[in-house]
Structure 1
Amino acid sequence: MASLKETPRQKMIGMMYLVLTALLALQVSDALLQKFALLNSSLEMANQSSLNKSKGMVQGIEERIKDLPNPAAYADVLKKANEVRRLTDSLVGHIENVKGQVLEAAGGIDPETGNIKNPKEEEKIYEIMVGGAKQGEAYKLIPMFDSYVKQLTATADPGTKFASLALEAKDIPSAQKDPNQANKDFAEFNFEHTPVAAALATLSQKQSEIRRYEAEVLNQLAAKVGAKEIKFDKVFAQVSANANTVVAGMEYQAEVFIAATSSGFTPRMSYNGSPLQVVDGRGQIKFKTSGGGYDANGLAKKTYTASVSYMSPAGPKTESITKEYFVLKPTYNIETGTLPALYLGCANRLSVASAGLGALWNPSFTAEGGEAIAGANKGKVTIVPTAASVTLNVNNAGTLLGKETFRVRRVPRPDIKIVGSSGAELNDKSGENSASLRFVNAKAIADESFAATNPEDANYRVSEIEVALARGTKRVASITLPGGGSISSLAGQAQAGDRYRIEVKGVQRKNFKGSVETIPFSFVKVIPLN
């Protein structure tokens, strides 16, 4: 039994399709939709290359037959080759029309950006492809797929088997064990809850499979007349880039390749004069982009030159192409309740976001004049200053995006309140009753603004107070308390006209790490007795 021989590029496309089918039922992000659009673009380029190759194969068969001693004996081979091409072009063309309907449902292509206007559209895609009572375009494709496979099988060498182009979920290993997918037919599995970009990529992948089947049969027919090695009369260079706009510091990736090539030679390729690694006829370009020279929109126009050298019928030849791309200036915003200044030795929590970088946003931070502690989520960082100013270095994927310098404030001193047993503040103007005042407590109250922005660092307590009973110019007695407590021993000696002199001798603050520091503090309050 003969089997289909896949090129490395075809294997890559097949693998991408497996990933695509596994993700069709998910709610996808903008970044993933962009990747589906790139995947569709890559598939369409591959399909165009396959079309050129199939034309060359048929032309090669025809030219080879002319050179044979008895060309009429091989007329049926050329007839079959042309019929295979006709069947394939017809089916691929029909799918292209369906893709046009899908694209129209999404509002078409934005002429300014070149992107699909509404890549997330799902409901209209469902109506077009699935529809009510199974009348959608996907169901119309099934008999067309089956007829195509049947006709190709009849033309191909005996024993050649082609897999169905309309597999149901139960026939796909990645879906058959999923209870949410296993019972879906071809149309439901591929186009239910499917955004525009994914639907286009799915249809392009079907076109790729059809071209692969066509190539297999044409190869078999070419072998019958000794024309399997096909020579193309036109060879040109092509560059395929993942994206034309990238962020400074990110890797730019692209492929430079011969659009119509032959296995009989390996071209030499270069990037800006430096040789490239060539894999399956495609040069691998990868370099780290640089910024600078940004315009008012934050874009910097860049170019590079790719060259391809090969042996043409007329001798050695070199094709060069200059590729243009744009570097996007990375931007970010810092959000914090403590701007424009941070507090010394405290946990100043910042949030650094970059809407422009999207899925590429993966920041890391360092600090000069302090410590930078990474948060649990992307873009979250805690700065603990140790100097009068601190500079935050914002990096993304190893590239420095910018430096932000903050002023650093000292932690504001707390207010002290002296209260009695009722919790009310003692009156240092009209005084307190000497017989009833038997308990005092000193409270350290954090600055309101500091407590609002740094609550984890605004935890104070008075650690020691001295309460002295004074009469005239003499000190009658005194007592030392750990922040507050009973003064009954003094109250028993107190008389009207005496006074309490309350001195705060120690204040402590617990920071966000749980460490306790003693704050130098001097505070005295005199309470007259009556």
Structure 2
Amino acid sequence: MAGGKISPRQKMINLMYLIFIAMLAIHMDKKVLSSFGFMKEKIEDANNANTVNIDHILTSLATKANDQPEKFTPLNDKATKIHKLSQDLFNFLEAVKDSIQVDIDEEDKKDYESMTSIDVLDVLFFKGDGLTATGRQFVDNINNYRDSILSVLGTDGSEDLKININKRFSTNPDKSDDGRDIPWIISRYQGMPLITSVANMTQIQGDIKNTEVEIYTKLLEGQLDIESKFTSNNYEGIVSLDKTAYFSGERVRGRVVLGRYDSTLVVTRVKLGNQDITNNFKNGQVFLDMPAGNVGNNKTFKGVITFMQDGKPEDIPFESAFSVIAEPNDAIVSADKMNVVYRGLDNPISISVPGVGDNSITPNPTGNSRLIKTGLGKYMLSPGSGNEVTINVSARLSSGKTINTSKKFRIKDIPTAAGTVRNDFGVVPMPKTSVNNVTIGAELPDFVFDLQLDVLSFVVKVPGQLSVRVTGNRFNAKAKREIAKARRGDVITIYDIKAVESKKRTPIKKVLPVSIEITN
């Protein structure tokens, strides 16, 4: 636009062009702020998933430490210290984030394009050419966390893990374009828009969660499946009767076994009350055969199983009770899994009345639920709409009398599933060369039914790249191109996973995200 004489009309055109460029730059800046906000949300989702995984690991380890203190107490103590250090830094960062957003209304906290202020954090962290007490504490807390975690680990954990910890929580100065050292906190936080600083702190929180998962995985590798020593502290006598109630004149039959049943166990002696029944011990079980007696409740029997442990006799007591009942006048209905049935599944139900033949029992569910007989006293219940279903049972006794009873069950949806990579939850470390070949799955850990889930689609997010929607359970070409841009230490997040139960194609309402950390 330089050179020569410019007409008034050309000057006006040039001015309008400059105004247009300025408006475009402002628009693009705001879009960048939104991208920081969206990144923060995805990291928070991954943090929530990791928190569930961490809680499960710590609970499992605490249980093992109680069962096998000599083997697992040192690991449990170390994990407890690491979790305390991690939670303290996580909470500190959360408090800083809350303090710099205290003047933002709750409904505006997702209006990322308006979170442009740089004054709030600058006042909190910086004073002149130096730092405020809070700014120094921010840096000190990160340094102390890094050093404390490495100190707790000691010789445990791989060198790669320790290198990652040093890298993730490094506060070394950054280099300027002319080669000068710029303090880490100034380079990362001074003069930055508010949403940028919040996103950066959320990323540190994500690094804390990922570090915890990696450490626990290394510490517990190969340990949780080791069997504990055979002692009376973790083994007990268990009485298993053929049934818990008997008619007068019947014989009581059942078995007595040791917890963690061992068919190779050889006992020294078995006593039932004052009677020696050692000859009734076969294949790790004591077979009972005794008269039931007259009608009555809480008929108790007890005894002792004696075996040798480290050359010394070890006594394991057992005790149980049963009832002897008269002819029944009520039905017994029980869910094989629990007092809950699940919508979209075939729920096994057992229906019987003691002393009444199966062909004399007629069950009917309420509403639009369906009950299909599958065997002697066995049914499959497919719940319909609503929150409850009642099974009404009519039974004809040998005397000709008819009794009617009912049992109510709660109807629940299939619970939240968890996304998996190589059958692992949470953050799964693997080399970059292996990522393209993985299959994205979904599982229902600790669910009462062993269901096979099929993944229909998911979204994959590589740090710094656009999210990609994928149909099916394997990465498509577009996703692989984004994955190729990932670097070592990056955490690839797979979220918004859509899955169905494979047999009846029942949709799973929610599937937790799963992440892949690039190790090299």
Report the TM-score when normalising by structure 2: 0.39
Report the TM-score when normalising by structure 1: 0.38
Larger radius of gyration: 1
